[in-house]
Amino acid sequence: MTPRRTSHVRPFLSVLSAVLVVLLAAACSSEFPRRYPDHTGSDGSASASPRSFGQKFEEDVELARTLSERFWQQRFEAAGRAYRPIQGFQAYSGEGGPACGEQPAVPENAFYCPLGHFVAYDEAWMRKLYENGGDGAVYVIIPHELGHAVQAQLMSDFGLNVQRELQADCYAGAALRGMIDSGSIEAEAGDDEELLANLAAAGDPTDEWLRPDAHGTPAQRQQAFAGGYDSGADAC
């Protein structure tokens, strides 16, 4: 993703849909033990590189946060409601993250805490994802966590955790589409594959919906994200 530089926005959705078919077929037979992926290849090389034109990790992180919140502020205002920005956006290292109530932060993770209405992320871990797999990870993880902040404000209720997580994926897709449609960022060649690969690698290895930490299979997470991107937040 890059800040908007020209008046051209490439047709991201058509490519997203085509790539989705390919990646869903591959994802169904794969196992992804981590919540978010490390795209380093087996030989130690990176499978993709970050954007180099005027972009740094810190800039993309702040951009993903700022533009996601702007999207939701506008959505809330259009519905006659007031959006409450998160109270904190905190980077941490390893086990040194903020607790959420009685739940300690864990390494290699990002989370939204409803008790303090904040988002926190392991900076070294997310930076590694960014450097190894490109900026797509940032534009999946941060809008996803802010999707949980939206759920908290809407007082959304879910019978299963996986429903909460898939809706946050859907919200993330809607927020990204809003960023592109507003002209704040523009999609570049390879962004669609990058985003869907991040979602695939973040999926659960099995379809165990009753697990309290279930997030959805690769296919389910990709479909949820694509649904929000295609049809908007109302479809989530």
Is 50 exceeded by the pLDDT of residue 54?
A: no
Closest CA to 167 of 73, 175, 200, 67: 175
Per the model's pLDDT, the better-predicted residue between 102 and 6 turns out to be 102
What pLDDT is attached to residue 217? Answer: 86
* 3 state DSSP class of 45: coil
Closest CA to 138 of 178, 184, 172, 182: 172
Domain ranges of the chain: 2-235
57-62 mean pLDDT: 92
Is 60 exceeded by the pLDDT of residue 21?
A: no
What pLDDT is attached to residue 133? Answer: 75
Closest CA to 195 of 165, 175, 209, 215: 175
pLDDT band at 10 (very low <50, low <70, confident <90, very high): very low
Predicted TM-score (pTM) of the model is 0.77
Closest CA to 139 of 195, 189, 220, 178: 195
Integer Cα distance of 165 and 158 in angstroms: 10
Q: Average pLDDT, whole number, for the chain?
A: 76
pLDDT tens digits for range 104-160: 999 999 999 999 999 999 999 999 988 887 788 899 999 999 999 999 999 999 989
Element at 221 (helix H, strand E): helix 218-231
What pLDDT is attached to residue 66? Answer: 94
pLDDT tens digits for range 192-219: 777 877 777 766 666 777 777 778 788 8
For the record, the structure tokens of 161 come out as 């955790």
3-class SS letters over 85-115? CCCEEEEECCCCCCCECCECCCCCCEEEECC
Percent of the chain with pLDDT strictly greater than 90: 53
Question: The tokens 């519905």 sit on which residue?
Answer: 79
